[in-house]
Copies of this chain bind each other. A is one copy, B any other.
Amino acid sequence: MDNKALYKLSYGVFMLSTKAGDKVNGCITNTCMQVANSPTRVAISVLNTNYTCDLIKESGVFALSVLDETVTFETIKYFGFQSGRDVDKMSELILPTDINGVPYMGWQTCAVISCRVVSQTDLGSHMLFVAEVEDAQVINEHAPLTYADYQNRVKPKPEKKLEDRKIIGWRCKICKYVYEGSELPADYVCPLCGHGAEDFEPIYG
């Protein structure tokens, strides 16, 4: 079995939020689909260890802000790269609220879908919620962000680490003479200007 085959499934990207009493939180998720149209139902899957998951179990309601193609990595980072257990993500924001009082995103978001849980199934790593769509609004006409688009365009590419780079030569900082080879002997002396190995800098491939 090749797990990479599962990477071929297409998804959107969402800010999933909820409010249970005074506790409000939101996270980034990619798993939501409409699963019935009569009555209108969606299904979402949320990591069981996720704080938003705990709060949805408690509140029974959630809002899905459908992120659009204008989303910035800062937004993903804000909601997705820190836990609501450590940081009150909503305290620094004034967000609009849906019919259930759940805050949703009014920017970088093409639609919001307000849902009430009708069933939940524990699948081990994740909780599967099936929910009634109680309200839904189009916010703008931008195309929704796909998960592939997030990976390819929005998410910063990791910088090549220094230790991963290969040294292909050494350059004399004094006269620019180039020594070809990955390892410069410690007693090497520049044949042009006579400076030693300590005056050479590496050239990466």
Interface residues of chain A, those whose CB is within 8 Å of chain B, are 1-6, 8-12, 31-43, 45, 66, 110-113, 119, 121, 123-126, 128, 130, 133-138, 143-148
Contacts and interface: CB of A to CB of B under 8 A. Distances in A.
Given A2-B137, A36-B125, A38-B125, 14 more contacts: A1-B134, A2-B136, A2-B138, A3-B136, A5-B111, A8-B111, A10-B10, A10-B12, A33-B33, A35-B126, A39-B123, A41-B124, A41-B126, A121-B130
Contacts of A40: 3, 6
A10 B144 contact: yes
A interface: dominant SS? strand
What copy number does this chain have within its complex? 2
Given A136-B1, A143-B148, A124 B36 contact: yes
A124 B146 CA distance: 28
A91 B113 CA distance: 43
B43 A9 contact: no
B5 A35 contact: no
Nearest to A10: B12
B126 A5 contact: no
A1 B133 CA distance: 9
Nearest to A119: B121
| A-B residue pairs, 3 tightest by C-beta | A10-B12, A5-B136, A36-B123
A145 B8 CA distance: 9
A119 B112 CA distance: 29
Contacts of A130: 121, 123, 128
A39 B124 contact: yes
A174 B165 CA distance: 77
A9 B123 CA distance: 23
Contacts of A33: 9, 11, 31-33, 43, 45
Contacts of A39: 123-125
Contact of A126 (B4, B36, B121, B143): B36
